[in-house]
């Protein structure tokens, strides 16, 4: 991958990182609201649940974005972490923080091997 391409992905990743790091918007959605109406309680609990899940997803994404930026720094960006083949530019355009080529991502999604993300989740659960 040449410098120009690398810089393009770097800019995309940095923009995403800034957006995610400033994500106080969704955090504001998580607040415990008291309501006398049981139905509202259920609905609010559901909304809170959803907001927490979104935060989880954003935290995961932010971690992936940071890892991708680190790979740009150390020169390993754009190479699949699993099979070490180059990741297709079309995939990087769509998902610049991806660590895997489409084939390995699909294998990881089917849990055929432990992706870094899965490992992170396991480590977080163990902590
Ligand atoms: Zn691969």
Read off the CATH number of the domain in which 77 is found. 1.20.120.910
Q: What is the pLDDT of residue 38?
A: 77
3-state secondary structure of 46: helix
Find the domain containing 120 and state its range. 3-126
Cα 14 to ligand 1 centroid, rounded to whole Å = 24
Cα 114 to ligand 1 centroid, rounded to whole Å = 13
Residue 20 exposed, middle or buried by CB count within 10 Å (0-12, 13-18, 19+): middle
Cα 108 to ligand 1 centroid, rounded to whole Å = 10
86-125 pLDDT, tens digit per residue, is 999 999 999 999 999 999 999 988 988 876 655 555 455 5
Predicted confidence (pLDDT) at residue 27 exceeds the cutoff of 70 = no
Q: What is the mean pLDDT of residues 1-28?
A: 86
Cα 116 to ligand 1 centroid, rounded to whole Å = 13
31-85 pLDDT, tens digit per residue, is 666 667 777 888 889 999 999 999 999 999 999 999 999 999 999 999 999 999 9
Residue 54 exposed, middle or buried by CB count within 10 Å (0-12, 13-18, 19+): middle
Q: What is the pLDDT of residue 127?
A: 46
- Indicate the number of domains in the chain: 1
Cα 81 to ligand 1 centroid, rounded to whole Å = 7
Please, what's the largest Cα pairwise distance for the chain? Answer: 61
Cα 8 from Cα 12, distance rounded (Å) = 6
Q: What is the pLDDT of residue 42?
A: 87
Cα 82 to ligand 1 centroid, rounded to whole Å = 5
Cα 16 to ligand 1 centroid, rounded to whole Å = 24
Cα 79 to ligand 1 centroid, rounded to whole Å = 8
């Amino acid at each position: 991958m040449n410098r120009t391409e690398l810089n393009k992905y770097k800019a995309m990743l940095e923009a995403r990182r800034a957006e995610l790091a400033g994500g106080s918007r969704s955090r504001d959605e998580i607040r415990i609201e008291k309501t006398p109406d049981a139905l509202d309680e259920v609905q609010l609990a559901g909304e809170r649940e959803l907001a927490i899940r979104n935060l989880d997803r954003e935290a995961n994404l932010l971690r992936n974005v940071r890892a991708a930026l680190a790979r740009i720094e150390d020169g390993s960006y754009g190479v699949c972490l699993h099979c070490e083949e180059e990741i297709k530019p079309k995939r990087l355009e769509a998902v610049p923080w991806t660590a895997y080529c489409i084939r390995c991502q699909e294998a990881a999604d089917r849990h055929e091997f432990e992706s870094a993300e899965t490992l992170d989740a396991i480590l977080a659960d163990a902590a």
